[in-house]
Structures are given as C-alpha cells and as structure tokens.
C-alpha cells in the first residue's frame, strides 16, 4: 500500500510529531495563563482557557480525521493529484498545442481572404524575424480579430500558428476571472511566462471582452478582480520586447466595450475585421467543407451558396454536416442536392415536426398567411423573388415563405425598406381579408416589422 494510505497512528514519526505538538501546546498554554492572569490560581485559568479553546481544537481534530479518512479511501495517486490541483489554482489553464500537432493551414480557411493577407505578414515575421528587425521594423505585439460569432476567428488563429510552425497557446477570457482577488492576475503572469518559455509562439485569448471591458471609475476601491486581471494583461504585453517573438491574438464580437488601454499602439494596435462571407466566400467555404466527402455528381455548390445569404462559416459547416447526417439516415452512399437544401431548412428553421397534430382550420389559416407573403413579394418590385413556400411546420413556425436575394447587398433605399415591410405584413393582411380577423400566427411578422 502506498505511503499516503498508511494509518498515521502506525507511523512512529507521526506519533512523535503529535506528542511534540501536544507538549508544546501545554507549555504555551501555561505560559500564556501565567502572563495574562498572574494573580489567579493557575488551574482555574488553564481550565478557563481550555473551555474557550476546546471547540477550536475539536474542529481541527475533526478536519484532520476527515482528511486522513479521505486519503485512505482515495485510489492510488488521486490524493497527490488533488494536492497538485490545489497548488495549481493560480496557474493558467491555457491549452498548449505544439507545432507538429497543428494541422490547420490557410488552405483550410476560406471566405476571409483580406484577413489572411493581413496575418500572412505575422507568419512571415515568425519565420524570418531578421528580415524585419534589420530594417528597424517592429511587428505589432497584439492583433485583435473582430467579427460576429462563427466567422472563423479561432480557426484563423490556429491556421496562423500552423503556417508559422510555432506552438499555440489558447485560453478563454472568462478563465481568468475568479471570485478570489488576485487569481486572475496570477494566471495572466503564468500565461505570459509560458509564452516566453515556448517563444516563438502565438498566444490566443478568445472572448477577450470577458476580461477586457472598460475599467470601473473607482467603484469597489480599485480592488475589482477583473480590473486587476486587465491591468496585468496590459503590463504583461508591455513586457514583451522585440526579441521575444511572441504574438498575442485576441478575438471578440464586442470591440465597443473594450478598454481603450488595450487598443493603444504597443498592445492590440491592429484590428482585423472578419465579416460574414459574400457569395464568393460562401462558395469557397462550402468547397472546403465538402472536401473528402462523397458528393453526388448533381450537386451544385453555386446554387447552394446563393441560397445561404447571411450564413457564417460555422453555419455552413453545420449545414454540410446536417446534409451528411440526412444522407446517412436514408442509407445513401453520397450526399445529394436534396440533402443540402433540406439541411438549409434545418439550420435556418429547425427540423420538421412530423408528429405535430394540426387541424384543418389551422392548415387553412397557415396556407392563407403564407400565400399573402408570396403574393405581395411577387407584386412589389424591390423584394427578392420567392424561392420556397411551405406549410410544413418547422421548429416553432407553422410554415414560412423564403425569398432568394439576387445578390449580396449592403445599401438599401427607403422604397426598398417600405416594400420589405409590405412583404413582411402580407400574411397579416391576408388573414384579415380572408377570415376577418388575425391569428397569433402573425405575431412573428409584427416582431419583424418592429425590429
């Protein structure tokens, strides 16, 4: 049996230490009683002090016995592991991936060509630092990746580390924040120490807005844990010199809430914006995700890219995976166009509700509602053409009408907004005309109009 599982009272060394502690405690108690109460009887004073200290001693004995009982019941090595966990409480929980384990490259990232061009300079700096230092150039210490969720910020950071062939340290901003003051700052110091140890390397802090928000104006007496953690990040980034070759990448979808000290030159002084992909970008992303999958010869990715405006790279990856699951469900050996188009509906609206019982009147109301949307979309000139109408319930919707944009657009006129509102309220008007009253099915239309 291991040493930590032996009974403590069978160990002579433990018995000697326990006896020494008892004797030392008795001598200390007698000396304290003689000093504090010199005029009273020594026995009375000692009994009084013992009455006050006895509950504390009993609590200590109970805690000690419970610890020994837990150590005896713990499997081999678990007690040591728990001790290490307690001592590593202030260490960072960064996930370290060495270069030989990084398989992500720029070829695996599509739809964000401008961002890749910006980060290609970082890769070249990590590979050939002398090329820049000989000219007196300094690579930015921090680069902030800004974009909506699912646009590939984490994937791009891993691709940079893979292309540069350097270690990759990744951690979430929320892992720095703890209830205990000082723990977050200690974890930041440990993270930067690891970065210096493995330099050249890339440190990636995901969701940095969790710890990098604007500091409070004196609230809490300046002892707020998050503020101290942010201060340590600022100090740590200032500690990287030009010869350290450590690049800090951070990602956020809320750059407006970040502290201005993070964004000044010398820290995160370069922002790289990752937006949702356009038609060309969606096509490139789909080509990456269908790579290595058995696709049917009739699959047209151009049509699929045109059917998915507004979807991010993560949405498109989920779409291809859903299509593969649908193909496997019907025992097909290839993924067809029908599977991909059905996957679009599953990603946008949810799965079909086959078991939902719908009365004939509800079907009639839903059909009239969706027909109203389709008629208005066909009549007005500034609304995209109707691509699909269905009264098959999906998710919380009883049916839907989907329009297909002819192109990706960023600018809209007043007349286009007005006709879009008319199309949105087409189902509401159809119910009013057909049945003389409106059902709760038009509630989503009202919410869309208000927003």
Reduce the DSSP state of residue 4 to 3 states and report it: helix
Pairing of strands 385-390, 201-206: unpaired
**Where does 74-142 have alpha helices with state H?**
78-87, 113-127, 129-133
Distance CA 269, CA 254 (A): 16
Q: Would you say 199 and 244 are in contact if contact means Cβ atoms under 8 Å apart?
A: yes
370 is catalytic: yes
Report yes or no: 292 and 324 within 8 Å, Cβ to Cβ.
Answer: no
272 phi and psi, to 5 degrees? -115, 120
- Ranges of beta strands (E only) in 134-186 are 142-146, 168-172
Q: In angstroms, rounded to a whole number, what is the distance separating the alpha carbons of residues 417 and 439?
A: 25
Residue 186 phi/psi, 5-degree rounding, is -65, -40
Distances (CA, A) of 366 to 195, 354, 384, 421, 439: 59, 16, 22, 19, 10
Q: What are phi and psi of 172, to 5 degrees?
A: -90, 145
Instruction: State the DSSP code for 263.
Output: S
Q: Which two tokens stand for residue 444?
A: 């989503």
Tokens of 217: 């104006």
429 Cβ partners below 8 Å, 6+ apart? 372, 376
Of 370, 418, 419, 437, catalytic: 370
Catalytic residues: 370
């Amino acid at each position: 049996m291991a040493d930590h599982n032996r009974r403590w009272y069978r160990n002579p060394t433990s018995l000697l230490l326990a006896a020494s502690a008892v004797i030392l405690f008795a001598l200390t108690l007698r000396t304290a009683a003689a000093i504090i109460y010199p005029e009273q009887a020594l026995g009375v004073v000692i009994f009084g002090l013992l009455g006050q200290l006895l509950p504390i001693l009993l609590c200590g004995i109970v805690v000690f016995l419970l610890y020994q009982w837990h150590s005896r019941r713990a499997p081999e090595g678990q007690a040591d592991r728990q001790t290490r966990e307690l001592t590593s409480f202030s260490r960072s929980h960064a996930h370290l991936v060495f270069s030989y384990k990084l398989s992500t490259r720029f070829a695996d990232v599509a739809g964000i060509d401008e961002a890749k061009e910006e980060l290609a300079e970082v890769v070249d700096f990590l590979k050939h630092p002398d090329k820049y230092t000989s000219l007196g150039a300094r690579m930015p210490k921090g680069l902030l990746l800004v974009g909506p969720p699912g646009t590939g910020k984490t994937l791009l950071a891993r691709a940079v580390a893979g292309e540069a062939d350097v270690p990759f340290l990744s951690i979430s901003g929320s892992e720095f924040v703890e209830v205990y003051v000082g723990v977050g700052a200690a974890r930041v110091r440990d993270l930067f120490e690891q970065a210096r140890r493995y330099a050249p390397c890339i440190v990636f802090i995901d969701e940095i807005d969790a710890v990098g928000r604007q500091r409070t104006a004196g609230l809490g007496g300046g002892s707020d844990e998050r503020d101290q953690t942010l201060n340590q990040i600022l100090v740590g980034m200032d500690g990287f010199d030009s010869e350290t070759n450590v690049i800090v990448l951070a990602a956020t979808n809320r750059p407006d809430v970040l502290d201005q000290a993070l964004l000044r030159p010398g820290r995160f002084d370069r922002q790289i914006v990752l937006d949702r992909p356009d038609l060309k970008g969606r096509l490139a992303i789909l080509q990456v995700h269908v790579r290595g999958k058995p696709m049917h010869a009739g699959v047209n990715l151009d049509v699929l890219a045109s059917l998915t405006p507004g979807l991010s790279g993560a949405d498109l990856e989920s779409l291809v995976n859903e299509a593969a699951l649908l193909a496997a469900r019907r025992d097909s050996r290839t993924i067809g166009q029908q599977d991909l188009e059905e996957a679009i509906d599953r990603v946008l609206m949810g799965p079909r509700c086959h078991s939902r019982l719908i009365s004939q009147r509800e079907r009639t109301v839903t059909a009239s509602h969706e027909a109203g949307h389709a008629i208005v979309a066909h009549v007005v000139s500034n609304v995209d053409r109707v691509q699909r109408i269905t009264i098959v319930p999906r998710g919380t919707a009883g049916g839907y009408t989907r329009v297909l944009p002819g192109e990706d657009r960023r600018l809209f006129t007043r007349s286009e907004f007005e006709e879009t509102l008319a199309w949105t309220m087409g189902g509401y008007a159809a119910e009013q005309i057909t049945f003389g009253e409106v059902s709760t099915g038009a509630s989503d239309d009202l919410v869309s109009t208000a927003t």
